[in-house]
Structure 1
Amino acid sequence: MTWTVDEQLALTATEAVAAIQTGRLKATDYVATLLARAAALQTLNALTALNMEGALAAARHIDSLSAQARAALPLAGLPVVIKDNINTTGLLTSAGTPALDGFVPDNNAPSVQRLLDAGAIVLGKANMHELAFGITSTNLAPHAGAVRNPYDPGLIPGGSSGGTAAAIAARITPAGLGTDTGGSTRIPAALTGIAGFRPSVGDGGAERRYHDPNAVVPISHTRDTVGPMARTVADLALLDGVITGDGPLPQVTLTGLRIGLPAPLWDDLEYALEDVARAALKQLEAAGVTFVPVAMDQLLDLNAQVGSAIAIYEAREDVPAWLVANNAPVKTVAEVAARIASPDVRDAYDAILANPFANQYQTALTVLRPQLQQHYADTFAVHQLDALLFPTTRLCAVPIDPLAGSSTVSINGAAPINEMNAFLRNTDPASNAGIPGLSLPAGLSAEGLPVGLELDGPRGSDRRLLAIGVAFEQLLGALPAPTL
């Protein structure tokens, strides 16, 4: 079979794997097509490094296997991009910051290795918000630069996993890995019209689904996790199953699902975004989903007392632990901070060095966070909910601020508010509670910008949450590709 370039670019991860497994598509042809696509779209700044020789060599290996051997690989020949803060052998892992520019670790993160063992191919490293401390992916480091949204290159793609999202949305790759501390897989997924997943973290023990100790440039061991990103929820489920070893998704039908609508996360939304989200609710309700309004009146207050206190405090120990464990060229937070390029990230590292939460950390971790987790658990139990649903972000993508760090946004003409806080409001609480969160496309706004809906589930309900997401996406449909 002869595939056109457009046919190859349109393939989802699941479709691409099936075509390569059965020999209908050569992995070498597919990888060459995507490498050419990456070269043609360099102005998006989605990637910090391209693995041209390595990806083609890996593709040739896949093509050389017997049909039986290829069919046995669940990700046979699947090209993926890996966020630049996740360890990859032989490839840059700089976290988008000058102090680590050119650093190459000698190990793969376990999540990456599981993808490779299943037949995946690393196409390149994805650009990101410097040190993952932001939601725009406007990076001022000379080797990185600002990532651009494929739906409008003048707009942010979200962050901090903006490069992974932009590469997937632009059809440079069908899937990839990001990381998520407060929304960093889900926010860029929403703003670029793809799907992004934050797996359960729980309290970091048996509930943590992805285990990547000292293999990701960190912010907070309590909050950080690797997460898959792709054009469809079905593709997320494919990658999640490979990373965790879990079997097929459970069967889910829309009829009978009870989905909570948390009032604080539906408040003060951009009108154009809310129109798309409400229209999606009507479609889902007509298909049999039962929506249950829930107050969750403690949600935002508890979250505000937890998030920064944990992230800023833990970074003081977690960052140098990664630097030392990986024999990085610098070994301290101060050395990293001295060379930070982006003003907003420099402010965050100044706070890390100042340690303003020294007296609040233990209370946040051992008292307030458990209260937040219980607030979620009670909401799911009392209302007999399968999941919560709300817009992933309060507004669509906004213009890139070339100064990075001075940004405010106005929602519906109201007084300007901090850009990062505006975009984090809806994703951050589930992050701090350690429960799984999934963003999937809801549609395009009247201005043609993607809108995402987030599903949050009880701790450990990851595979069922993905199954619900698949059912939702089958009804709502995929977004049209951006015009590039």
Structure 2
Amino acid sequence: MTWTVDEQLALTAIEAVGAIQSGRLPAVDYVGTLLARAAALSSLNALTTLDLDGALATARRIDALTPEAKAQLPLAGLPVVVKDNINTAGLQTSAGTPALEGFVPKANAPSVQRLVDAGAIVLGKANMHELAFGITSTNLAQHAGPVRNPYDPGLIPGGSSGGTAAAISARIAPAGLGTDTGGSTRIPAALTGIAGFRPSVGNGGAERRYHDPDAVVPISHTRDTVGPMARTVADIALLDGVITGAGPLPALTLNGLRIGLPAPLWDGLEKQLDDVARAALQKLEAAGVTFVAVAMSELDMLNGMVGGPVAIHEARHDVQAWLVANHAPVQSVAELAARIASPDVREIYDGVLAGVLDAQYDAALNLWRPRLQQYMADTFADAQLDALLFPTTRLAAVPIDELNGSSTVTIDGSPSIGTMDAFLRNTDPASTSGIPGLSLPAGMTASGLPVGLELDGPLGSDRRLLAIGVAFEQVLGALPAPVL
């Protein structure tokens, strides 16, 4: 059969793999269509590197395989984009910062390698908030430049994995990888109308779902993780299964699901976003979901005692270790920081180098974080909850601030609050406590902007959480594609 460009662009990851495995769609045709799409939409600034020759060569190798060989590759011919702080052999890994521009690692991060081994094709590297220390993906124009939201190029796509999200939303790629420290897969997913997943991290070791040691330009080993992003939760489940070797999603029905609604994360929302989120609740309740109000009155306090001290303290040591382990072009955090382009990130790194929160670190890690983790576990157990549900962000996408990268916002005329604080509030508890979190599309505001709902689950419940997400997206439906 002959595929139109629009038909190819509309394919989900699962659909694309099926079409390539069956021989109905040559991988080289599909990759060529997406590369052309990336070139046509370069003004979105979603990608920092495009691997035209490499992607087409890999597609030709996939097409040359026998049907039996293709069937053995669960991601046969699937084009993906990879955030520019995740190591990729032969492709730049710059983390969007001048000191690492042009740096090419010698090996893929393990999560990338598992996708490639399964037949995925890396189209290129995705732009991001410089050094992953921000939620807007607005970088100084003289360097990486701001990533733009496909639904309105004057608005942020979220961050720090904003390039991955924008590329997937704009149909440049059906899926990709981001990273998440405080919300960096989930926030941009919510603002661009796609799905984003943060897998379990727990206390590391066996509790950590994805293992990419020294293969991602870090912020915090306690909080960082790679996470898949795609237009559907089902596609995320496909990538997660390949990365972890997990089997099919568990079967479940919506009838009997108990989902908690944490009061602090439903408070202070932008009205247009709140309207969309509550309309989604009504649809899910009509489909059989039982919602349970949970007070969680200590959540903000406990989370606040952990997040900042852990991230700021660990950044100095973890970045230094990555620079040395990867033989980077600069070998000290001070050298890296001296060349930071974005004012908001430079200010954060001033604090990192000065050790502003070092005194609070030990208590944050060894006292307050265990208390938060127990608090989350008790909330799930005491109320017999399958998951928590709340809006991923407090407000929809806001205008790009090209001078500062990230400054302040207001919510329906409220006093100004820091942009990062505003967008991180709801995603941060999962990151801080190490439990899995999933953002999926809930609907569109009256002004035409995407809204995301987040599901957080107990530690280690990743596959069940994804199964709940798949069931929810079947009720809520897909969002209309951006008009580009």
TM (norm. structure 1) is: 0.99
Tell me the distance in 2 between the aligned counterparts of 1:79 and 1:40.
Answer: 17
Describe the SS at the equivalent of 1:111.
Answer: helix
- Verify the 8 A CA contact 1:101 1:143 in the aligned structure 2: no
Task: Write the letter of the residue equivalent to 2:191.
Answer: L
Tell me the distance in 2 between the aligned counterparts of 1:356 and 1:40.
Answer: 44
Q: 1:412 deviation in Å? A: 1.1
- Verify the 8 A CA contact 2:396 2:449 in the aligned structure 1: yes
For 2:48, the equivalent position in structure 1 comes to 48
Describe the SS at the equivalent of 2:446.
Answer: coil
Tell me the distance in 1 between the aligned counterparts of 2:453 and 2:410.
Answer: 21
For 1:167, the equivalent position in structure 2 comes to 167
Tell me the distance in 2 between the aligned counterparts of 1:146 and 1:415.
Answer: 26
Tell me the distance in 2 between the aligned counterparts of 1:181 and 1:156.
Answer: 19
For 1:108, the equivalent position in structure 2 comes to 108
Describe the SS at the equivalent of 1:163.
Answer: helix
Tell me the distance in 2 between the aligned counterparts of 1:480 and 1:383.
Answer: 36
Tell me the distance in 2 between the aligned counterparts of 1:143 and 1:61.
Answer: 35
- Verify the 8 A CA contact 1:169 1:482 in the aligned structure 2: yes
For 1:24, the equivalent position in structure 2 comes to 24
Tell me the distance in 2 between the aligned counterparts of 1:128 and 1:394.
Answer: 21
Task: Write the letter of the residue equivalent to 1:267.
Answer: D
1:191 counterpart = 2:157: no
1:272-283 superposed matches below 5 A = 272-283=272-283
Tell me the distance in 2 between the aligned counterparts of 1:59 and 1:269.
Answer: 45
1:353-368 superposed matches below 5 A = 353-368=353-368
Tell me the distance in 2 between the aligned counterparts of 1:143 and 1:339.
Answer: 11
Task: Write the letter of the residue equivalent to 1:64.
Answer: A
Describe the SS at the equivalent of 1:374.
Answer: helix
Task: Write the letter of the residue equivalent to 2:3.
Answer: W
TM (norm. structure 2) is: 0.99
Tell me the distance in 2 between the aligned counterparts of 1:141 and 1:203.
Answer: 38
Describe the SS at the equivalent of 1:360.
Answer: helix
Q: 1:103 deviation in Å? A: 0.5
For 1:293, the equivalent position in structure 2 comes to 293
For 2:254, the equivalent position in structure 1 comes to 254
For 1:140, the equivalent position in structure 2 comes to 140
For 2:267, the equivalent position in structure 1 comes to 267
Tell me the distance in 2 between the aligned counterparts of 1:458 and 1:123.
Answer: 34
For 2:329, the equivalent position in structure 1 comes to 329
For 2:340, the equivalent position in structure 1 comes to 340
- Verify the 8 A CA contact 1:260 1:387 in the aligned structure 2: yes
Tell me the distance in 2 between the aligned counterparts of 1:274 and 1:435.
Answer: 25
For 2:384, the equivalent position in structure 1 comes to 384
Tell me the distance in 2 between the aligned counterparts of 1:467 and 1:142.
Answer: 43
Q: 1:141 deviation in Å? A: 6.0
Q: 1:406 deviation in Å? A: 5.4
Task: Write the letter of the residue equivalent to 2:40.
Answer: A
1:224-280 per-residue CA deviation (whole Å, 9 max, x = no partner) reads 000000000000000000000000000011111000000000000000000000000
1:99 counterpart = 2:103: no
Q: 1:12 deviation in Å? A: 0.3
- Verify the 8 A CA contact 1:27 1:77 in the aligned structure 2: yes
State the superposition RMSD in angstroms.
0.6
Describe the SS at the equivalent of 1:372.
Answer: helix
1:26-55 per-residue CA deviation (whole Å, 9 max, x = no partner) reads 000000000000000000000000000000
Q: 1:405 deviation in Å? A: 4.1
Q: 1:143 deviation in Å? A: 4.0
Describe the SS at the equivalent of 2:369.
Answer: helix
Tell me the distance in 2 between the aligned counterparts of 1:216 and 1:304.
Answer: 25
In the alignment, structure 1 segments of 5+ residues that lack a partner are none
1:271-299 per-residue CA deviation (whole Å, 9 max, x = no partner) reads 00000000000000011000000011110
Tell me the distance in 1 between the aligned counterparts of 2:283 and 2:97.
Answer: 44
1:230-245 superposed matches below 5 A = 230-245=230-245
Query: How many residues are matched?
Result: 484
- Verify the 8 A CA contact 2:21 2:67 in the aligned structure 1: yes
For 2:473, the equivalent position in structure 1 comes to 473
Tell me the distance in 1 between the aligned counterparts of 2:265 and 2:358.
Answer: 30
Tell me the distance in 2 between the aligned counterparts of 1:21 and 1:180.
Answer: 31
For 1:122, the equivalent position in structure 2 comes to 122
Q: 1:97 to 1:417 in 2, by over 3 A?
A: same
Structure 1 segments (4+ residues) deviating >3 Å: none
Tell me the distance in 1 between the aligned counterparts of 2:19 and 2:211.
Answer: 30
- Verify the 8 A CA contact 1:110 1:211 in the aligned structure 2: yes
Aligned sequence identity (%):
80
- Verify the 8 A CA contact 1:51 1:122 in the aligned structure 2: yes
Tell me the distance in 2 between the aligned counterparts of 1:167 and 1:356.
Answer: 36
Task: Write the letter of the residue equivalent to 2:198.
Answer: R
Q: 1:404 deviation in Å? A: 2.4
1:453 counterpart = 2:453: yes
For 1:410, the equivalent position in structure 2 comes to 410
1:441-476 per-residue CA deviation (whole Å, 9 max, x = no partner) reads 000000000000000000000000000000000010
Tell me the distance in 2 between the aligned counterparts of 1:109 and 1:35.
Answer: 23
